[in-house]
Structure 1
Amino acid sequence: MKKRLIHSAATGLVLLWTFSATGCNHSESSTAPDKNGKEEMKRLIQVSVRTVEPSPIRDILVLPAQTEAWQDIRVAADTAGRVDWLGPREGHQVKKDQLLAKIDVAPLKAALERAEAAYKLADELCQRRQKLHERKIINQEDLDRSITERTVAQGNLKQARIEYERGFKPAPISGFVNYLHVDEGEYVDRGKPLLDLVDVEKIKINVDVPELDVRFMQVGQSVKVSVDALPGSEWTGTVDFVSYRADPGTKTFQVRVIIPNADHRVRPGMIARVAFLRRVIPEAVTAPLFSVVEKSGERMVFVEKDGVIHARTVSLGVIEGDRIQITKGLNPGDRLVVAGQTFVEEGMKVQVQ
């Protein structure tokens, strides 16, 4: 009897152990798919997508150029002589007709005074002879000679006044004295440079435009101008002139742009960037520049559909800011990958964030 009880107990323990093991295996197998699914989701690359929608994009041509003064004049001496006086110095601002220099004024003044005295004498003599002629005391020939002498004296006086005025050099324009070529006391010949004047109230920029783009340039057209030396600033300029003849060496056309410069921040000789608007494409398919990748020498973008990546070879168009036109390979409504695109390939399953 005792042996039967022991045998029954042992059999029960075996059955209990078998049932427990079977139950445990069943529990583990029932939860495995769910656990594996989560792990698979964790292994999927996460990407961000953006639905492609047509939008306007501007076709902008940016060309480098150099700034120039609106007027840049070399002021020269109108008479030979010693420089008696120089007024403004380098960097000084002057107004039009302001006196800049005096050249040999004393001798010129003396010559003017002699000419004035000679004319006065000739005029008085002519008047006396006129009265004598009326009284028949002198003949017509004597009167004519006196009139001629007065005319010559009058001409000499005019010339002396011109020479005297040439000793005073006024500013032909308003602007800044950029460079002095002479010092006070120095002797100069007629035509020798005295100083350079620059007018920078406006700045002109001559841009060399390729022949394929000159058709987009029109007089009066507005442009945007930036200057490398003045980051963060932008000016609105106007096309003032479009050349009708190409440069024979470069095959480019000169386009002159004018910008205001009342604060004189832009100086002649600075490097500028001129942005010309060629056209506006109203319904363009565009993508962020960073979404385009290069693989095997081809430009590509990736689109996502139903959690699967599809690679598209694209053709590129114009660029504006951080956007680029896609002329072929991308369509409105596509879900463009804009984050994670460097880690995906054709046919890869992904998780969209």
Structure 2
Amino acid sequence: MQKTTYFLISFCRLVLLVLLTLVGVALLFGCSSSSGEEPQEASVPRRVNVVIQEIVPQEIRDVVLLPGSAEPWLSVDLAAETAGRVEKLSVREGDHVRVGQVIAQIDVTALGAGMARARSAFELFEDQLRRRERLFLEQIIHEEELDQIRSEKVQAREALRQAEIEYDRGLLRAPSPGRVNTKLVEVGEFVDRGQVVIELVNIDKIKVQVQVPEMDVRFLEVGQPVLVMVDAFQGQEFQGVIDFIAFRGDPATKTFRTQVVMDNPEGKIRPGMIARVLFLRRTIPDALAIPLPSLIDRGGERLVYVEEDGLARARQVEIGVIERDRIQIINGLHPGDRLIVAGHREVDEGTAVVVR
């Protein structure tokens, strides 16, 4: 009896131990499973803040910007008209001069002496002619003697005229108003006839020479206004006008020399400065134009995004002319479309958007 009771107690203990072991294993695996898994949350669609601009027809200008070089309105190399010593220079570099102003004297002392001798000789023949005419009237001399003195007076007058011309050639005068850009000789130097003494420039107006491609020159005409930008004056625009278009193009470059003239009353634009000229080829009155930064280039495809019912929609577009920060859209957009102009690089087709 005691053995049976002992056996039952041992069996119950064994069963209890097995049950406890199984419960422990179950609890262990349950905790491991729950600790390795995060709680699932509901998926929330991504929404991007955007700014839109409604597409409306507007005017856009088809323009071309071409480089050029500024030149003086007038540039004159004043050369000596007679050989001799430079006796006087009346100007310095940078001086303003007026038309007809004497700026240099060359050998005028000797030329002046020659002119004085010629004038004295002419006056002598004038006096002799008057006396001979009285003698002829009194029939004291023959007509042949009177004719001879008349001929000598004519020769003296011509000699005086030549002497005055030579003297005037020694006075170097400004042919136009302007500034002395370069002085090439000094007082006391001997110069030959034809030697350049002074370089004179007029910059009250400036010429800009531009080489215009043959595909663009057909849009231009003399008298057409243009805008000129000078690299030395960033952010400033100057008004100009087309003054000349070459009738014959450069066979090597297929360009046509086009001259633009602009006022320069303050003289701040100087010859040699780099300029850029904005030529108007044509005006498109009802173009669909968008901000240039809103255009996206992906692998050669040009895309924009529009907002439709709270979603971003991609549109493939065909572009036209560019005017500064605007670009014409030929195909792909329509009036009234809501173009995404900010946030467009953060969206894809179908992205939910919030219009700000």
Give the alignment's TM-score, normalised by structure 1: 0.84
**Whole-angstrom CA distance in 2 between matches of 1:351 and 1:201:** 57
The equivalences for 1:255-270 within 5 A come to 255-270=258-273
Q: Deviations over 1:211-265 (max 9, x none)?
A: 2222322222221111110112221112222332223332222222211111111
Worse overlay, 133-142 or 327-336: 133-142
CA distance in 2, matches of 1:336, 1:276: 30
For 1:230 and 1:168, locate their aligned partners in 2 and report how far apart those are by CA, in whole Å: 40
Residue aligned with 1:159, SS: helix
Cα shift readout 1:54-106 (whole Å, capped 9, x = no counterpart): 22112222211111111111111121110000011111111112220111111
RMSD: 2.1
> SS at the partner of 1:231?
coil
Residue 143 of structure 2: aligned partner: 140
Match of 2:76 in 1: 73
Same amino acid, percent of matched pairs: 47
1:305-331 CA-partner distances (Å, limit 9, x unpaired): 223333222111111232110111122
Aligned-partner residue type, residue 129 of structure 1: R
Work out which of the residue numbers 179, 182, 185 in structure 2 matches 1:176: 179
Distance 1:75 1:345 in 2: 71
Gap runs ≥5 in structure 2 = 1-38
Give the counterpart of 2:232 among 215, 229, 232. 229
1:19 counterpart residue number: none
Q: Quote how far apart the aligned CAs of 1:349 are.
A: 4.0
Measured in 1, the distance between the counterparts of 2:242 and 2:306 equals 43
What residue in structure 2 maps to residue 105 of structure 1?
108
Aligned to 1:40: 44
Match of 1:294 in 2: 297
Q: Equivalent of 2:90, from 87, 91, 94?
A: 87
Displacement after TM superposition at 1:269 (Å): 1.0
Give how far 1:351 is off: 4.2
| Residue equivalent to 1:162 | 165
In structure 1, stretches of 5+ residues that fail to align are: 1-31
SS in 2 for 1:40: coil
Give 1:117's aligned residue. 120
Task: Out of 175-184 and 307-316, give the one that drifted further.
Answer: 307-316
CA distance in 2, matches of 1:264, 1:307: 58
Cα deviations by residue, 1:91-142 (Å, 9 ceiling, x for unpaired): 1111112220111111111101111121122222233333333344333333
Letter in 2 for 1:309: A
Residue from 184, 198, 204 that aligns with 2:207: 204
Between 277-286 and 183-192, report the one with greater CA deviation. Answer: 277-286
**What is the one-letter code of the residue matched to 2:275?**
A
Provide the residue aligned with 1:247 in structure 2: 250
- Equivalent residue number for residue 332 of structure 1: 335
TM, length-normalised to structure 2? 0.83
Residue from 52, 56, 60 that aligns with 1:57: 60
Residue by residue, what CA displacement relative to the aligned partner does 1:134-191 show, whole Å, maximum 9, x if unpaired? 3443333332222211111111011111111222222111111000111100011111
For 1:48 and 1:125, how far apart are their aligned partners in 2? 103
Q: Which moved more, 1:56-65 or 1:178-187?
A: 56-65
Q: Write the distance in 2 (CA, Å) between the matches of 1:280 and 1:89.
A: 50
Corresponding residue number in structure 2 for 1:275: 278
The AA in structure 1 aligned to 2:117 is R
- Cα distance, 1:49 vs structure 2: 2.7
One-letter identity of the residue aligned with 1:225? V
Give the aligned residue type for 2:153: R
